[in-house]
Amino acid sequence: MSVFKLPEGMVRAPGSVGTHEGYMPGWGNDFETEALPGALPQGMNSPQRCEYGLYGEQLSGTAFTATPPERTWCYRIRPSVKHSARYERIDLPYWKSAPHVVADVTSLGQYRWDPVPMTEEPLTWLTGMRTMTTAGDVHTQIGMASHVYLVTESMTDAYFYSADSELLVVPQEGRLRFATELGVIDIAPQEIAIIPRGLVYRVEVLEGPCRGFVCENYGQKFELPARGPIGANCMANPRDFKAPVAAFEDREVASTVTVKWCGQFHVTKIGQSPLDVVAWHGNYAPYKYDLRTYCPVGAILFDHPDPSIFTVLTAPSASPGTANIDFVLFRDRWMVAENTFRPPWYHKNVMSELMGNIHGQYDAKPQGFVPGGMSLHNMMLPHGPDREAFEKASNANLGPDKLENTMSFMFETRFPQQLTEFAGREAPLQDDYIDCWESLEKKFDGTPGRK
Ligand SMILES: O=C(O)Cc1cc(O)ccc1O
Ligand SMILES: [Fe+2]
């Protein structure tokens, strides 16, 4: 439930109360919401004249002919095209897009970073975005980038949208507000937000400083994974995703809109707040989701399943079953498997795995992978539990055991991830990370028996 006041002058749709205050539940629903009564045309999209003198405008998030098509009809004070200057190129040097291969930074390896520290410098959502890795190619709408954000300042009279990507936002510290064209989303650690491609917003600090992770998806949108034999329930349930109700502001102040487009940033001037959508209907919307509502399913007799059972959202690629990105959650849960090495096994993976720690301790890495920290196990590079985790798990008395105080995630992509200069040189890379496997002992002595 939102406990924060709305931005001054913003009018929000009534009717959503209690735990849903300000939000409408259900992933992929065809929503309708209006902040002023009667603003939404009924039975049609394009009346000759809209109520309140609003302009009708469609935001198409998929091709018209996609199955299913995703689009939203907005009824707004002015059409988006009404901006008063041409686009001017600007530089946001820390926000990189694929393809971005830095000649003398090596991406082949197992990497781990301490949390990127806050700085004295005031940073907004735009200036505080720090790209760690990129994969694929933004121009062909394939692949992704992973970022850390450090945000201490709200955007004032400044707005942004990414034509390149949808953003999956995973806060780790502080609270952020996404005041978007379609309404207001407030998020805190253990929640996520999904901001669709093309949607205009500004980001405000509700409680700072703020740090978190972003997965920038250049490809096909995130969707709920196919459940297969798991059936209709558990994992991420559609009703736990929440889209905001309509909220608008009628504010005529000189403002800017920054656009990310083919990896470049451009700014244009505008004489008003673009958050002027009074009513909307459709199925292309931003969402928030509380990761604590994710219902994990796991091994209840023996063995450790593939982590795909913990997929919250998946962004498909053209190859079925081979995701452009899987967003995977390792949350608190019971471990009950008998006669089993319970932590993640040792492995090499064609997919590349970028992990972040939201809070607590991760079972495969009791030391060194700390909240706010990240690791990267790139394509086909071996990794697994460190010595401490291996010894403990191999010798534990196995009863029902609860992994508590733990929440980490993985952005897993079919593409190799390339480190940025920031990730390779400026961010607090742990030079000794690979030593965590160094002391794994040879136990084999040629004689049978479990050792
Ligand atoms: O820690 C990792 O590397 C992530 C991971 C978790 C798991 O349970 C199984 C495989 C895997 O890659
Ligand atoms: Fe892994």
In a domain, 329, yes or no: yes
What is the number of residues in the chain? Answer: 451
Pocket test for ligand 1, best of 309, 403, 410, 417 (most atoms within 8 A of CB): 410
What digits encode the pLDDT tens for the residues 44-55? 999 999 999 999
Q: What is the DSSP string of 46-99?
A: --SS-GGGPEEEEEESS-TTSSS--EEEEEESS-TT--SS--EEE--TT---SS
* C-alpha distances in Å from residue 209, one per residue of 49, 172, 179, 193: 46, 11, 18, 18
Show the domain range for 342.
294-429
Percent of the chain predicted with pLDDT > 70: 98
Residues pairing with 282 in the sheet? 31, 72
| pLDDT (0 to 100) of residue 15 | 58
- Whole-angstrom distance, CA of residue 152 vs CA of residue 269: 24
Q: What is the pLDDT of residue 5?
A: 81
Residue 308, in any domain of the structure:
yes
383 Cβ below 6 A of ligand 1: yes
Nearest CA to ligand 1 atom 3: 384
3-state helix, strand, coil in the chain (%, to 5): 10, 40, 50
Q: Is the pLDDT of residue 19 over 70?
A: no
User: Domains in the chain: how many in total?
Assistant: 1
- Quick one: tokens of 399? 């009863």
Place of tokens 């480190």: 419
Asked if residue 163 belongs to a domain, the reply is no
Q: Give residue-wise pLDDT tens across range 411-435.
A: 999 999 999 999 999 999 999 999 9
- Asked whether residue 326 is assigned to any structural domain, the reply reads yes
- Residues 210-231: tens digit of each pLDDT: 999 999 999 999 999 999 999 9
* ipTM above threshold 0.85: yes
Is residue 397 situated within a structural domain? yes
d(CA 336, CA 240): 27
Which pLDDT band, with edges at 50, 70 and 90, does 17 fall under?
A: low
User: Which residues are near ligand 2, the ion (C-beta closer than 5 Å)?
Assistant: 353
> Which CATH number does the domain housing residue 306 bear?
2.60.120.10
Q: Is residue 321 part of a domain?
A: yes
Catalytic residue list: 304
Is residue 419 domain-resident?
yes
Residue 4: per-residue pLDDT: 67
Looking at the domain assignment, is residue 44 inside a domain?
Answer: no
Supply the mean pLDDT for the chain. 96
User: Counting ligands in written order, which one lies closest to the CA of residue 307?
Assistant: 1
What is the pLDDT confidence band of residue 1, given thresholds at 50, 70 and 90? very low
